[in-house]
Amino acid sequence: MPELPEVETIVNALAPRLSGRRVISAEFLSSLVLRHCIGGDPQELVQQTVAKLERRGKFILIHLERHVLVIHLGMTGKLLFDSGRSPYTRAIFGFDGCTLFYEDIRQFGSIEWSTVVPKRIELLGPEPFDITPAAFHRAMRGRRTPVKSLLLNQQVLRGLGNIYVDESLWRAGINPRRLAGKLSGPRAARLLEEIQNVLNEAIQHRGSSISDYVDADGRKGGFQLQHRVYGREGKPCVNCGTPIRRIVLGQRGTHYCPKCQR
C-alpha cells in the first residue's frame, strides 16, 4: 500500500527516466482505473513531451505539454519499467526509449488527465514537511474525531496512510483514539515532529514492502523492518514489552501500545 515514502521513491525512479521523453502510445486495458476520467481520448496524450514529475501526497503528477496525468496507486498499483504485460496490467504508456506498465490487482488505483490540475487534487492539505507546528495544532482545534482518523484525512495533511499514522502515533506516545481537538500544543508539535521523522526514515529506506510493494525498477523497500506497531499485534512493544494491541478505528486496522500511548 503505497503511502508518501513509497510514492516518493517511485517518483524519484520515474523522474530521470521520463523527463523530456515523448509519449508514443497510451493504452488502457481497464475502464475501472479511468473512473475519474470522463470523456478523455487517450490519443490526445500521444506526441506530448514530459515536462516534469511531481508528487502531491500519494498522487503522482506527470506534467505533459498540454495535459497533466494524475496517477494514484491505491492499494496494489505499481508503475513498472519494461516489465512486460501481465494479467493485471491495466495501462501501458509507451515513451521514446522505454515503456511504463501500470499494474493493479485490486484496481483501487486510478489514472486521469486534464488540462489543469483537478480540483480535488488542489484541495489536498499541505505536505507534512510544509506545515508549522502552530498551523498543525490549529488544524486539529475543535475537531471531535480520533486523531488517527484526522491524520488519514488528506484534506488536513496529505500523504499519510494507515502504516505511517500508526507508527507516528506510537513514536509520539499518543493513543490513536484520543480526540484530535484535545491535543495540547506541545503534544501536537511532538506528533508533527514524529510524523516528519518516520516519513524521512522511511524514504531513506525506500519505503515499506509489506505486501508486494516494489518501486518502478522492481526494488523492494526496507522500512517494514523498522515498524514498531503496524503488523505487530500481540508482539512485545519494543519500548515497554506490553503486547501490541490491534483495534478497528474508523473502519481501519489500528495498532498501538496500550501502555506507551495514552
Partner DNA sequence: ATCTATTCCTGGCTGC
Partner DNA sequence: TGCAGCCAGGAATAGA
Tell me which residues are annotated as active site: 2-3, 58, 252
Angstrom CA distances, 130 to 10, 19, 117, 164, stand at 21, 25, 20, 17
- State in angstroms the smallest separation of the CB of 161 from DNA: 3
The least CB distance from residue 75 to DNA, in Å, is 4
Contact flags string 211-250 toward DNA, x per CB under 7 A: -------------------------------------x-x
- Counting contacts by CB under 7 A, is residue 143 touching DNA? yes
Do residues 180 and 145 lie in contact, with contact meaning Cβ atoms separated by under 8 Å?
yes
**Could you tell me whether strands 252-256 and 245-249 are parallel, antiparallel, or unpaired per DSSP bridges?**
antiparallel
Residue 9 contacts DNA per CB under 7 A: no
DSSP, collapsed to helix, strand or coil, labels residue 240 as: coil
**Residue 107 binds DNA, judged by CB under 7 A:** yes
Site for DNA in 184-203 (CB under 7 A): none
State the Cα–Cα distance between residues 206 and 210, nearest whole angstrom: 12
- By CB under 7 A, the residues from 147 to 176 that bind DNA are 149-150, 152, 154, 161-163
Please tell me the number of Cα atoms within 13 Å of 111 on its side-chain side: 27
Taking CB under 7 A as the rule, does residue 85 contact DNA? Answer: no
144 interacts with DNA by CB under 7 A: yes
Which residues 6+ apart lie within 8 Å of 138 measured at CB?
none
Site for DNA in 21-60 (CB under 7 A): 32, 36, 57-59
Segment near DNA (CB under 7 A), from 78-86, 91-99, 138-146, 199-207?
138-146
**151-175 as b/e, with b when 16 or more CB fall inside 10 Å?**
bbbbebbbbbbbbbbbbbbbbbbbb
Binding site for DNA (CB under 7 A): 1, 3, 32, 36, 57-59, 72, 74-75, 105-108, 120, 142-146, 149-150, 152, 154, 161-163, 180-181, 248, 250-253
